[in-house]
Structure 1
Amino acid sequence: MKTTSLAGGGLLIGFNLFESCKPGVEPPVDLASLDYNDFNAFIKIADNGAVTIFSPNPEIGQGVKTAMPMIIAEELDVAWKDVYVLQAPLDTKNFTRQVAGGSQSIRHGWEPLRQTGATARQLLVNAAAARWGVDPRECTTKEGIISNAKGETLGYGDVVQEAAALEIPEDVALKSVKEFSIIGQEIPNVDLDEIVTGKPLFGLDYKKEGMVIACVLRPPAFGQKLVSVEESGARALPGVLDVIRFGDKVAVLAQDTWTAMKGKAALKAEWGNDEPLESTEDHDRILTDLLDGREFTTMRKDGNVEKAFAEADMVLERTYESPFLPHNCMEPMNFYADVTPERIHLVGPIQTPEGTAHQIAEVLGRDFSEISLEMTRQGGGFGRRLYGDFAVEAAEVSNLAKRPVKVVFTREDDMADGIYRPAIKYRIKASVRDGQITGYHLKEAAINSNMYGLIPNFFPAGALENYQVDVAKFDSKITTGAWRAPYTNFLAFAEQSFFDELFEQMGADKIQSRIDLLEKVKGTTDDRIQYSPGRMQEVIRMAAEKSGWGTPKEGVYQGFAAYYCHNSHVAEVADVVMENGEPVVKRVVCVVDCGIVINPSGARNQVEGGVIDGIGHALYGNFAFRDGRPQALNFNDYRLIRMNEIPRVESYFVQNEESPTGLGEPALPPAGAAMANAIFAATGKRLYNQPFVNALKDVKIPEKEIIG
């Protein structure tokens, strides 16, 4: 801190970032200058003991670039301070499942990554034992130091060259959970310095000599085709290098992004369509007709729901509706491509590098082996970057332009040319007889629905004798796909809100009733059931305890939800108060059973971010189409949750020794339901449609109060 007197009076207090650095801090090691030996595709160890670990999977903010190397470093038994982490490129020979999607990176990588680190550790031990002439079983390791029974020690760097030449051992021993010294510790994000100091890290940061920027004009409405385009206005702008038409798109190439954007705006295009263009009103009618119709695909049918309904004392039926949603990643879509006769060099933010590379090879008629793809850190993914359309565009434009190109989306491009969460309607019907739920029928009607997956086998499957799930879809020209926690992001709200209302009408305890239903699933031999009833019961009980369920402070109303998805069990309690006659979410308690928690700080980030994302989109997320055109193109038209509207989120993890499961998505689905059930407790109003703001009118938090 420095203070300076101003000439006109007063005091200026300044902060010098560089002078504030801790004294004696050494500059980062120049990794390229070290003499490395490769142990495998993941690990390089230098003769000075420095360890570089490559993180194979795309980093979209879910923390795998930190967590995956932590798993390797744990079994390698190296001090974390000696570890440097680098993003690995696409490498189909040495890596498997280089994908960021479905919250599966850690789950799938857990055992292979442990084996990778343990194998390298055993090689180092074997090399040290050979030098000492002792049995490797007499040696131990700790933080990169190998010791023998005589008290002699060698560092990993001392034996790295001999170790790298040894035969790969088989059946290496893995640590017990009690021996972990890195896993379970609070480890800062390995990219933290680059993020906060603005060093090049993201796709938009990437630059290459000779690279030009391309902004692409695409059809303004889904279902339209390009008839003609007048290019003269764009070509006349200083700095515009070329205008290239490909398919129904037109790319404007320039030396900088702003000029490319201006050039695209100067294009005059004529568009046509062969069929009527779709509107949100059309979708609403179509989905209702699907629910009322008989053209369903039955995904699961246990017992006879119709018989259960006919014999019931009470039948409850409700319909729940959700709109399309864009992904709205902080970093708009972008990708670099340099297509030459010899090779195709690709760089950028992508969740599916291998699939995208194959897609580009097919489009360009090239061999997959000619493609090299490097991944940058991604400013959000949420499923949008599972689809490599923007990367394919970059490759197509580069191929036609015969020069390296980076395609850059504007925010308007990002929202108008998205891969959206599909609009969905659910109709749920349940029967009660003699105080027990006897039947349950779930109908889904969705736009372009092709991701039914395991949803028919989630709770309450297995808990009810008469249970049926039917699905129907409408094929639309509007592009849809995965959106954070696909399908469950809305289904959890519908089902958990329905159960809350059902238990209310039954006069049953909302916590105990869920526990009782789960008890019926225990001991099942039905291998279709994906969730664990016991683990779900545990998170329910823990959430009730941590939130003070049933004994809130005066003026606080609580809502509960529990859900299983992405192999993890989650329970949440939302606290709502009334302010100025409107319900306000103040606190959410979230309990997660995701098995062993690799990095608690990263885990909390995922849980809290998921809860906030779930609450924000349930409250405000709305995206409509009129004649095929999106009705919101930027954040002045599309409402997101604001910082002073964010509740306090308390996250807790069940401590066990189960293998890790998903964490990037499971906290989002129950959040909307917990909030809706709390709003009912506060107002007596049931919510059936998202966004909730349409039903609640103005939901607001006074600006004077910011909740941390």
Structure 2
Amino acid sequence: MAAPRNSPFLPSRRGFIKIWLGAAGGLAIGRMLPVHAEGGLVTFQPNPFVIITPDDIVTIIVKHLEMGQGIETGLAMLVADEMDAARAQIRTRFAPTDASRFHNLLAHGLQATLASTSMANAFLQYRHAGAIARAMMVGAAAKYWGIARGHVKVAAGQLISVRGHRASFGAMAARAAALEMPIAVDLKRRDEFVFVGRSFKRLDTPAKCNGSAVYAADIKREAMLVAVVARPERFGGRAMQVDEGAARAVPGVVAIVPISRGIAVVAETSWAAIKAKRLLKITWNDTDAEIRSSSEIMAHHADLAGKPGVVIREDGDIDAAAKGAATVIQADFHFPYLAHTPMETLDLVLEQAGGRARLWVASHVPGIDQANVAFELGIASHEVEVITVYAADPSVAGRPSTAMRPLRRPRSSRRWGRSGRSSSCGPGKTTSKAVTIDRPRCTG
């Protein structure tokens, strides 16, 4: 439960380190970031998650991927609530790839969006970020007006003194930037929330309705090539023989290259690549492929469920309890493969120039894709800029490495001196979550 306004939020030393300490050993929020200027005006950024500009815009840096689940709005409202900002002045920006500042506190130091942990790990972190920004705004106003901090209140993005002074966040941004950042700050009580726990329109809805929201498929670069992949119908299948004749005759086709999981077609346009892909005549080798039916796979898992497995946790002796129990209830719960058939294809855009690269992608774990690109191009990870875009479907997000394969170094934009988009579309784009069988047993 949140600490009341009249008492500071003071976690234990261990709790503070767990919440704020970055993966590289630096405080992810417990430090003032360098003050910088945009358009000649001082920009106030009290921590990695909040930026306040003189035009009175409050920009929230969103460290998690927005893929339709609403986390962009959720995180922004946490900050806005603790700041007492007006909803109209809130903007968002996806975080750059930097696990030292933007890691998921429940994902072993990775900058990751997974397992429904986004709000769980960021709830206190983003509230604390907003509370720090608010405290510094109040401190700046109090110092400027020559009054005690307790004589300044905040409402809807306005700083108001008991003497009638009023100022916006933007007007106090430069003065707040000159103050030391507080460590202990007050968090709101539940009954003080303005946004948290209430229903309101999502921040991304207008852009997604008017077409201005940017997805990887929207990115266009000069002289960009497009790659699509023909994949086997069975997992583990490999191309044994390929007749490329008709495909190579399609105007705009640049190359047809084998990759580990299929055949990539590289062309000047998406349509040329898709058309050529359809004209490929591929004989697949299913020797190492998964050829069992769903029922056969489920039967195999049912057999495994009856055998001893790895014990994760054991409390008491269920077998002994069952022998002396009046009633034993046991049931099998079968969870089949869950098909991920996305509305959006797997897309990414990769551009390389002057020993650096830029990657536009919707990724659950952008650091992995940054490292993969760096490895394939033979450059350092920090030379790869990952630009996070919206994902239209959670099934797509997090699998860019699959779409990246046709753009890898031996066959990449380096070879043709062009930017490249890789798309997975048509048959073979479906992925699945694993099949499981749960067998709980209760005694009474």
Verify same fold: TM over 0.5: yes
C-alpha displacement at 1:35, in angstroms? Answer: 4.5
Match of 1:112 among 119, 122, 125: 125
Match of 1:393 among 393, 396, 405: 405
Q: Any idea what the Cα deviations from partners look like across 1:416-445, whole Å, max 9, x if unmatched?
A: xx2x122223344444xxxxx1xxxxxxxx
**Equivalenced residues, count:** 396
For the 8 Å contact 1:119–1:168, the answer to whether it is kept is: yes
> Who is 1:632 aligned against?
none
Larger radius of gyration: 1
Whole-Å Cα distance in 1 between the matches of residues 258 and 275 of structure 2? 17
> Who is 1:84 aligned against?
91
For the 8 Å contact 1:336–1:391, the answer to whether it is kept is: no
Whole-Å Cα distance in 2 between the matches of residues 201 and 429 of structure 1? 49
> Who is 1:59 aligned against?
66
For the 8 Å contact 1:214–1:251, the answer to whether it is kept is: yes
Q: Any idea what the Cα deviations from partners look like across 1:520-547, whole Å, max 9, x if unmatched?
A: xxxxxxxxxxxxxxxxxxxxxxxxxxxx
Whole-Å Cα distance in 2 between the matches of residues 67 and 277 of structure 1? 41
> Who is 2:344 aligned against?
331
> Who is 2:44 aligned against?
38
Change beyond 3 A, Cα 1:52–1:320: closer
Change beyond 3 A, Cα 1:272–1:106: same
Whole-Å Cα distance in 1 between the matches of residues 48 and 207 of structure 2? 24
Letter in 2 for 1:48: D
Letter in 1 for 2:60: I
Q: Any idea what the Cα deviations from partners look like across 1:562-608, whole Å, max 9, x if unmatched?
A: xxxxxxxxxxxxxxxxxxxxxxxxxxxxxxxxxxxxxxxxxxxxxxx
For the 8 Å contact 1:140–1:146, the answer to whether it is kept is: yes
Change beyond 3 A, Cα 1:187–1:210: farther
C-alpha displacement at 1:76, in angstroms? Answer: 1.8
Change beyond 3 A, Cα 1:229–1:400: farther
| 3-state SS of paired residue (2:341) | coil
Q: Any idea what the Cα deviations from partners look like across 1:613-653, whole Å, max 9, x if unmatched?
A: xxxxxxxxxxxxxxxxxxxxxxxxxxxxxxxxxxxxxxxxx
> Who is 2:429 aligned against?
414
Change beyond 3 A, Cα 1:339–1:232: farther
Match of 1:172 among 181, 185, 200: 185
C-alpha displacement at 1:360, in angstroms? Answer: 3.3
Whole-Å Cα distance in 2 between the matches of residues 341 and 246 of structure 1? 26
Match of 1:215 among 211, 222, 228: 228
| 3-state SS of paired residue (2:427) | helix
For the 8 Å contact 1:356–1:391, the answer to whether it is kept is: no
C-alpha displacement at 1:277, in angstroms? Answer: 4.2
Match of 2:244 among 210, 221, 231: 231
Whole-Å Cα distance in 2 between the matches of residues 160 and 271 of structure 1? 63
Change beyond 3 A, Cα 1:275–1:99: closer
Whole-Å Cα distance in 2 between the matches of residues 34 and 76 of structure 1? 25
> Could you tell me the TM-score, scaled by structure 1's length?
0.52
- Is 1:47 the counterpart of 2:54? The answer is yes
| 3-state SS of paired residue (2:343) | coil
C-alpha displacement at 1:228, in angstroms? Answer: 3.9
Change beyond 3 A, Cα 1:175–1:304: closer
Match of 2:437 among 408, 419, 425: 425
C-alpha displacement at 1:190, in angstroms? Answer: 1.0
Letter in 2 for 1:422: A
Whole-Å Cα distance in 2 between the matches of residues 240 and 317 of structure 1? 59
Whole-Å Cα distance in 1 between the matches of residues 42 and 50 of structure 2? 10
Letter in 2 for 1:38: F
Letter in 1 for 2:44: D
For the 8 Å contact 2:346–2:399, the answer to whether it is kept is: no
| 3-state SS of paired residue (1:154) | strand
Whole-Å Cα distance in 2 between the matches of residues 352 and 325 of structure 1? 21
- Any unmatched runs of 5+ in structure 2? 1-37, 105-110
> Who is 1:511 aligned against?
none
Whole-Å Cα distance in 2 between the matches of residues 50 and 57 of structure 1? 21
C-alpha displacement at 1:413, in angstroms? Answer: 2.8
Letter in 2 for 1:404: S
| 3-state SS of paired residue (1:252) | strand
Pairing of 1:299-318 with structure 2 (within 5 A)? 299-318=312-331
> Who is 1:103 aligned against?
116
> Could you tell me the TM-score, scaled by structure 2's length?
0.81
- Is 1:361 the counterpart of 2:374? The answer is yes
C-alpha displacement at 1:284, in angstroms? Answer: 3.5
Whole-Å Cα distance in 1 between the matches of residues 302 and 58 of structure 2? 59
Match of 1:342 among 352, 355, 361: 355
Whole-Å Cα distance in 1 between the matches of residues 330 and 59 of structure 2? 58
Match of 1:150 among 155, 159, 163: 163
Letter in 1 for 2:61: F
Whole-Å Cα distance in 2 between the matches of residues 158 and 311 of structure 1? 74
C-alpha displacement at 1:43, in angstroms? Answer: 2.5
C-alpha displacement at 1:68, in angstroms? Answer: 0.5
For the 8 Å contact 2:230–2:264, the answer to whether it is kept is: yes
> Who is 2:301 aligned against?
287
- Point out the more displaced range, 303-312 or 369-378: 303-312
| 3-state SS of paired residue (1:162) | helix
Pairing of 1:180-195 with structure 2 (within 5 A)? 180-195=193-208
- Is 1:373 the counterpart of 2:380? The answer is no
Which of structures 1 and 2 has the larger relative contact order (alpha carbons within 8 angstroms, sep 6+)? 2
| 3-state SS of paired residue (2:373) | helix
C-alpha displacement at 1:365, in angstroms? Answer: 4.1
Whole-Å Cα distance in 1 between the matches of residues 253 and 125 of structure 2? 49
Letter in 2 for 1:37: T
For the 8 Å contact 1:139–1:147, the answer to whether it is kept is: yes
For the 8 Å contact 1:57–1:105, the answer to whether it is kept is: yes
Whole-Å Cα distance in 1 between the matches of residues 61 and 263 of structure 2? 38
| 3-state SS of paired residue (2:99) | coil
Whole-Å Cα distance in 1 between the matches of residues 289 and 418 of structure 2? 39
> Who is 1:686 aligned against?
none
C-alpha displacement at 1:401, in angstroms? Answer: 3.9
> Who is 1:471 aligned against?
none
Identity in percent: 26
> Who is 2:418 aligned against?
403
Whole-Å Cα distance in 2 between the matches of residues 62 and 276 of structure 1? 34
Whole-Å Cα distance in 2 between the matches of residues 301 and 125 of structure 1? 52
Change beyond 3 A, Cα 1:213–1:34: farther
